[in-house]
């Protein structure tokens, strides 16, 4: 049991970040992480011992999140906004908070498959191979989704509103005061 705790406990902050980014709701994300940890501990004996448990645990979380989002869509729920996540970014300047808000909005605009890849590679420092294992897709698909996701993020953060979906959802706001 100690072996399990030593290997899983350091993963919890990353699991929470990834879950919050996927479902955009703190309570739902915490529930997902709890479910993920329960499943990981219960099925620890089934994991491949020659592989890093980090990919395996993140794969469990990703699958649970996808199932939860599909269930919420069937029931007519929408992704909740990340209310209260300002506590994660304590003591930041106004410009930092604006950049954070812009980034969260841009991430919300990405399709789920691109968002997952960007978060796993860019935030959680997964390799392409680990990301492919977590998402159960080929490495080429990871590379393609990452490139498209980064490009779309760049366009959204630069204010490029060439796609009608972004133009309809984007509200004007003050970016910088000199």
- Please tell me the predicted confidence (pLDDT) of residue 77: 55
* Domain encompassing residue 26: 1-79
Of 36, 58, 79, the one marking the end of a domain is: 79
Render pLDDT for 38-68 as a digit per residue (tens, 0 to 9): 998 888 888 888 778 888 999 999 989 888 8
Render pLDDT for 168-178 as a digit per residue (tens, 0 to 9): 445 555 555 55
Q: Does residue 126 fall inside a structural domain?
A: yes
Measured CA to CA, the distance from residue 136 to residue 117 in angstroms comes to 12
Does the predicted model carry a pTM greater than 0.75?
no
Render pLDDT for 16-44 as a digit per residue (tens, 0 to 9): 988 988 888 888 889 999 999 999 888 88
Q: Residue 159: CB partners within 8 Å, gap ≥ 6?
A: none
State whether 21 and 50 are in the same domain. yes
Is a pLDDT exceeding 90 seen at residue 147? Answer: yes
Place of tokens 């392409």: 128
CB-CB contact of 119 with 18 (8 Å) = yes
Q: What percent of the chain has pLDDT over 70?
A: 79
Measured CA to CA, the distance from residue 25 to residue 33 in angstroms comes to 12
Query: What's the sign of the alpha-carbon dihedral 49, 53, 55, 59?
Result: positive
Number of domains in the chain: 2
Element containing residue 118 per DSSP (H, E): helix 112-118
- Please tell me the predicted confidence (pLDDT) of residue 81: 44
Of 18, 49, 79, the one marking the end of a domain is: 79
Of 53, 79, 105, the one marking the end of a domain is: 79
CB-CB contact of 115 with 107 (8 Å) = yes
The predicted model gives 122-128 an average pLDDT of 87
User: Which of helix, strand or coil describes residue 165?
Assistant: helix
State whether 1 and 73 are in the same domain. yes
Residue 124 is given by DSSP the state S
Q: Does residue 178 fall inside a structural domain?
A: no
Element containing residue 14 per DSSP (H, E): helix 12-23
Measured CA to CA, the distance from residue 155 to residue 160 in angstroms comes to 5
């Amino acid at each position: 049991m100690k072996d399990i705790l030593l290997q899983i406990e350091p993963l919890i902050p990353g699991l929470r970040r990834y879950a919050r980014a996927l479902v955009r709701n703190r309570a739902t994300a915490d529930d997902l992480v709890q479910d993920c940890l329960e499943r990981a501990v219960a099925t620890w004996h089934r994991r491949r011992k020659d592989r890093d448990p980090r990919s395996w645990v993140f794969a469990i979380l990703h699958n649970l999140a996808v199932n939860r989002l599909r269930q919420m869509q069937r029931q007519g729920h929408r992704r909740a906004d990340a209310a209260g996540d300002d506590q994660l970014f304590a003591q930041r300047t106004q410009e930092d908070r604006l950049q954070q808000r812009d980034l969260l909005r841009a991430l919300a605009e990405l399709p789920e498959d691109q968002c997952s890849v960007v978060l796993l590679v860019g935030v959680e420092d997964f390799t392409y191979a680990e990301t492919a294992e977590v998402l159960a897709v080929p490495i080429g698909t990871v590379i393609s989704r990452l490139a498209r996701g980064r490009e779309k993020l760049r366009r959204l953060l630069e204010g490029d509103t060439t796609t009608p979906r972004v133009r309809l959802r984007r509200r004007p706001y003050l970016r910088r005061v000199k």
